[in-house]
A and B are shown apart, each in its own frame.
Chain A
Amino acid sequence: MVEVQLRVNGTAHRLELDPRVSLLDALREHLGLTGTKKGCNQGACGACTVLVDGERITACLALAVQYGGREITTIEGVAHPLQQAFVRTDGFQCGYCTSGQICSALGMLAEVEAGAPSAVTEHLAEPAVALTDAEIRERMSGNLCRCGAYNGITDAIRETAGVPS
Chain B
Amino acid sequence: MRPFAYVSAPDVDTAVRAIAEQPGAKLLGGGTNLVDLMRQDVERPTTVVDISSVPLTGVDELPDGGLRIGALVRNSHLAAHPLVRTRFPVLAQALLSGASGQLRNMATVGGNLLQRTRCLYFVDGAAACNKREPGSGCDAIGGFHRGNAVLGTSEHCVATHPSDMAVALAALDAVVEAQSVRGTRRIPLVELHRLPGDTPHLETVLDADELITAVEVPASAVAATSRYRKVRDRASFAFALVSVAAALDVEDGAVSAVRVALGGVAPKPWRAYEAERVLTGAPATEESFRAAAEAELADASGLPGNDFKIELARRTIVATLRQLRVEGGAA
Contact = CB atoms under 8 A, between A and B. Distances in A.
A115 B80 contact: yes
Interface in A100-139: 104, 107-108, 111, 114-119, 121-125, 127, 137-139
Contacts of B4: 19-20
Interface of A: 2, 18-20, 22, 41-43, 46, 49, 55-58, 61-63, 65-66, 104, 107-108, 111, 114-119, 121-125, 127, 137-143
B85 A57 contact: no
Nearest to B33: A61
Interface stretch (B91-99, B200-208, B268-276, B289-297): B91-99
Contacts of A123: 330-331
Contact of B1 (A20, A42, A65, A117): A20
B105 A56 contact: yes
Contact of A43 (B50, B76, B86, B103): B103
Nearest to A22: B35
B106 A125 contact: no
B100 interface: yes
The 10 A-B residue pairs with the shortest CB-CB distance, nearest first, are A142-B100, A141-B236, A19-B6, A116-B80, A125-B331, A124-B85, A119-B96, A141-B237, A58-B102, A119-B97
Contact of B236 (A2, A56, A138): A138
Nearest to B6: A19
Nearest to A127: B82
B50 A117 contact: no
Interface size class of B (residues with CB under 8 A): 35 or more
B163 to A, nearest CB: 15
Given A20-B1, A56-B102, A107-B101, A63 B89 contact: no
Q: Could you say which of A49, A66, A104 has the most chain B C-beta atoms within 10 Å of its C-beta?
A: A66
A49 B32 CA distance: 13
A116 B28 CA distance: 26
Contacts of B39: 41-42
B105 to A, nearest CB: 5
Contacts of B1: 20
Nearest to B87: A125
A62 B101 contact: no
B100 A55 contact: no
A65 B9 CA distance: 12
A61 B105 CA distance: 12
B238 to A, nearest CB: 9
Interface in B234-255: 234-237
A66 B36 contact: no
A49 B100 CA distance: 11
